[in-house]
Every structure is written in C-alpha cells, then in structure tokens.
Amino acid sequence: MIKHTILAAASAVAITGLAATPALSQTADWSGWYAGAQIGYGTGNADWVDNSIYTAGGIGTPILSADPDGVLGGIHLGFNQQYGNIVFGVEGSFDFSGMNSSDPSAAVPTQNTDINWLATIGPRLGYAMDNYLIYLEGGYAAADVETLAINGGGSVYPTQEVHHGGFVGLGAALQVSEAVSIGAEYNYVFLGDKVHAGIASGFGPLSIQVNNVDFHTVTARVSVKLDKLFGN
C-alpha cells in the first residue's frame, strides 16, 4: 500500500506540473531543485556461501548463485546548477523493488532471494544542449537483501540484511516544458558482501554469506522543477 501511495503521489505531481506550467522557452534552464518518479526493470546476481553448517561441506562451501530480476520504481529528489553547457548536480533516489529469484535444490526445495528496496545518492555531471541533457553519475548505494530457505523437512530459515556499496550510471533527459522533463537512466549497482545470520525453525542458528551482490537497472523518469511548479 505504501509503495503504491508514493508512486501515485509522485506521478500526480508530475502530471500536474506538465499540464499547468508554461511551454518551454527557446533556451532551457536546468538549474534548481527538482523531484519526480521513476519506474523500470532490474536484473542482477547474488551468491550464497555457507557460513555455518547449511551444507555438508560447511564454511566456505558455495550454495547457489541467484539471478534476481523484476520491476522497480520509486521517487527521486535532486539539485542542478548550470554553467553554460555544463550542468553539475546531486541526486538521491529510493526505489521499491520486485527483483527476486527462486533457486530450489533437491534438499532445499525453497531458496529465494529478494531485493526489497534500493537507495542511491551521489553527484552528477552533465552536458546541456538546449532542452536536452546527457549526464554521468555515481555515488553511494544501499539495498535490502532478503533470503528464505525451507528444507524438505519444513524447517524455515529467513534472513534480511542491508548491503552497502556504490553505483555508476548515465542518463538523458528532455525538458518538455519549463517545469517538466522526461528521461531514461541506466545504473550499475555493486554492493558489499554480508553475513546473513538467522534461526532455522526446529534446527537452530545458521548463517550464510551473501556475496557478489550487483545488478543493472534501466528506468524511465519524470521530473518536475520545484521553483516552476510553485511559481517562484
């Protein structure tokens, strides 16, 4: 419900700005605060490695290599400052994610990996050509990674941890009015390894290490310049 509310609100703001703001002047100005929404698709990787006695091999034994993928969408907020054709900026974004993977084995028929959310923040450097903007970006990234294992005997072993790392990407935007721009963006997200410890029902403490968590995302975006939206 919260996911739907945030996306619906961001989309409503963008649509309102597009309908109610003046047409784009001959020379676009990218400077100022902006906010918006994005939606797209992500695909990636996450490796499970035994960190206890999950497998007969014990610590260090590879368990599986998951390939979570799915739809993601959320909101962003940023600030740009334009000097001639050069645009410096900073942006933060938050996405709810439906990226998931199911990798059953004979002994453990349920082994799921889910990326529940993704957050990024970092600087951007762009080049403006009137109402077009192309840019590079990078910075800090974090994602919530959840795992679930249920073995043949019904023992349930859930874990959930936030992984931290970075991202790099590129994008392009087009101002369609003085307030509204549309665009597309690609990002590569790379996150650190982390131990996922938990309790397996009917068994006891277990832990796995989730390594090599990285993924690629492609999103379509709508952004609204806040000074134009509120008439300042």
pLDDT per position as a tens digit, 125-147: 999 998 999 999 999 999 999 99
Q: Domain count for the chain, please give it.
A: 1
pLDDT given for residue 164 in this prediction = 98
* pTM for the structure as a whole: 0.86
Q: Could you tell me if 166 and 139 are in contact, meaning their C-beta atoms sit under 8 angstroms apart?
A: yes
Burial class (CB in 10 A: 0-12, 13-18, 19+), 67: middle
Q: Which residue has the tokens 């077009």?
A: 132
Q: How far is CA 71 from the centre of its chain?
A: 10
pLDDT given for residue 146 in this prediction = 97
- The ranges of the chain with pLDDT < 50 are 1-26
pLDDT given for residue 231 in this prediction = 65
Element (H, E) at 171: strand 156-175
Structural domain boundaries, residue 177:
2-229
Whichever domain contains 219, its CATH number is 2.40.160.20
DSSP tag of 229: H
Q: For the chain, where are the alpha helices, taking DSSP H only?
A: 2-20, 226-229
Tokens of 35: 């906010």
pLDDT given for residue 228 in this prediction = 79
